[in-house]
Amino acid sequence: MKFKILIVFVLLFSIHAVAQQKYNIKKFGAAGDGKTNDAKAIQKAIDACSAAGGGQVLVPAGYVFLSGPFDLKSFVELRIEGGAKILASPDEKLYTKSAFRENKGEGTIWIGGEKLEQVSITGTGILDGNGISFMGEEIFDSYVLKPFEIVDPRPHLLTLTDCKKLNIDGVTFQNSAYWTVHLIGCNDVSISNITLLNSIKIRNSDGIDLDHSKNVRITNCYIESGDDCICLKNRREFEEYGACENIVISNCTMTSSSCAIKIGSENMDRISKVLINNCNIVNSNRGIGIQNRDEGTVSDVIFSNLVIESKLFSDVWWGKSEPIYITAYPRATANNKDAGWRLPKGQTKGKVGAVSDIYFSNIRCMGESGVYISAESQDKVSNVHFDQVSVKLNKTTQEAGGIYDRRPSNVEGLVKSDIAGFYFENTGNISLNNSEVIWGSNKPTYTGKALEQKNVKKISVVNFQENTTHE
């Protein structure tokens, strides 16, 4: 009997050992000296792990592994130990694969993967995109983008397409030259406990982009980015993957020079069933933005239990300190990038889909502008509900205010206007309950009414207050 138990124990131990098999990239030739391109060694370790049926590819502590592009594989856990770093090579010639298929003008891929399953990126180490190396001159609040002819060599840090059961946990992503985590057509995704630190001066340095992806949970993350921290979209280059839906974002802290949580502007399908809860937005330009510019729709989105702190940035960045922003206008066509790849093939003018059934509850906003909702017509934004939303306007920067920002659209982009606490223009049904506008002790000179409405089909206002602080 004891002999049988011993055999069972040995068998169980052997199975466990196989399941936990590790592939240390140093053993596959990685130098880790911060100078040698270790991409081939990293790829060899990943390929060997996947070929064996899966396991853990270990990036050991105490080294900086300089690397050009490499790809992840199914059933592989890329484990980056604390004290380890993979650093993107600054050699632009290494980056040749477009991040957007035939559209080669919007960056390349550093770490990639397609049609994978059960992939993990874990550990407390660092993936560093070496972003400043790909930038031009540093100016006041941004970097100049280097000119290019056909291919923009700036690498997106992580681009995964058509992957199932993806887990990203604990890792620090930093210094991306373009988008950081771009998930295209992915299903069943968990992103948790990550730190994402991009330069707030690098344009296009989005944090997490969910593109045609479904069943995604983003929790307990800290994100700083020059562009949007978390963005939901449906790009035209990947239209076969359908809607972006069933998204939960919770317990995150975000800072952005553009918009902390954005839906759009690229949306040629449907974005729906989105829950955003218990988040802190700090020192950002826009807080929440729904920016619909294509024929796709946005519906059934709930924002709750948020603190939003916004401020003005220069015109380099879209946004004018709106804590909550919803606009629906057809896309601008004057910009060559928009005309060439954003519009349906063969068309020179686009259409905009409807935004409906959007809910805001228990939200405290503090910034240099107010809530702004504006659309092409009443049927494009409707059934927007506010309950227990507080908006405090207080001047905190030297940037000029008194402007609403509708870029990129087929109407005037930057509109001079008095800024209201809540501004509704060309909308369908709006409800505003148990909410308030507070004028701060440094009230902006460009402020207007607490509540302003123009061409609103129906508005219900219950227990709305206007107050002034005397700090």
DSSP string, 330-345: PPPSSSHHIIIIISPT
| Residue found under tokens 């800072």 | 255
Closest CA to 234 of 150, 181, 286, 292: 292
Q: pLDDT confidence of 337, banded at 50, 70, 90?
A: low
Q: Mean per-residue pLDDT for 252-275?
A: 98
Specify the pLDDT at position 10: 42
Distance, in Å, from the CA atom of 359 to the CA atom of 6, rounded to the nearest integer, reads 60
**Residue 209: φ, ψ to 5°:** -115, 115
Specify the pLDDT at position 17: 44
* pLDDT of 440 higher than 60: yes
Percent of the chain past pLDDT 90, that is, above it, reads: 91
Question: Token pair for residue 43?
Answer: 């790829």
Q: pLDDT confidence of 341, banded at 50, 70, 90?
A: confident
Q: Mean per-residue pLDDT for 178-199?
A: 99
Cβ-proximal residues to 219 (8 Å cutoff; 6+ apart), any chain: 190, 191, 192, 193, 248, 249, 250, 251, 252
Q: pLDDT confidence of 335, banded at 50, 70, 90?
A: low
Specify the pLDDT at position 13: 43
The string of pLDDT tens digits covering residues 285-297 is 999 999 999 999 9
Distance, in Å, from the CA atom of 366 to the CA atom of 450, rounded to the nearest integer, reads 14
Could you tell me how far CA 387 lies from the centroid of its own chain? Answer: 26
Specify the pLDDT at position 381: 98
Q: Tell me the Cα Rg of the chain.
A: 24
Among 2-6, 81-85, 140-144, 288-292, where is mean pLDDT lowest?
A: 2-6
Specify the pLDDT at position 86: 99
* pLDDT of 34 higher than 80: yes
**Do residues 261 and 306 make contact, with C-beta atoms less than 8 angstroms apart?**
no
Cα four-point dihedral sign 145, 147, 150, 155: negative
Q: pLDDT confidence of 332, banded at 50, 70, 90?
A: confident
Collapsing DSSP states into helix, strand and coil, what is residue 47?
helix
Specify the pLDDT at position 322: 98
Q: pLDDT confidence of 175, banded at 50, 70, 90?
A: very high
Rounded (5°) CA angle 410-315-353? 30
Output the CA–CA distances (angstroms, integers) from residue 405 to 291, 318, 320, 408, 415, in the order listed: 11, 7, 6, 9, 6
Q: Mean per-residue pLDDT for 133-144?
A: 96
Specify the pLDDT at position 340: 64
Closest CA to 182 of 231, 146, 227, 125: 231
* pLDDT of 334 higher than 90: no
In terms of CATH architecture, what is 20-227? 3 Solenoid (2.160)
Pairing of strands 103-114, 381-393: unpaired
Domain positions in the chain are 20-227, 247-471
Q: Mean per-residue pLDDT for 104-125?
A: 98
446 or 5, higher pLDDT: 446
Among 14-23, 119-128, 444-453, where is mean pLDDT lowest?
A: 14-23
Q: pLDDT confidence of 470, banded at 50, 70, 90?
A: low
* pLDDT of 164 higher than 70: yes
Distance, in Å, from the CA atom of 452 to the CA atom of 421, rounded to the nearest integer, reads 8
* pLDDT of 387 higher than 80: yes
Distance, in Å, from the CA atom of 151 to the CA atom of 178, rounded to the nearest integer, reads 13
Specify the pLDDT at position 342: 86
Pairing of strands 55-59, 22-24: parallel
Closest CA to 228 of 257, 267, 253, 199: 257
Specify the pLDDT at position 471: 58
Distance, in Å, from the CA atom of 121 to the CA atom of 132, rounded to the nearest integer, reads 24
**Do residues 388 and 309 make contact, with C-beta atoms less than 8 angstroms apart?**
no
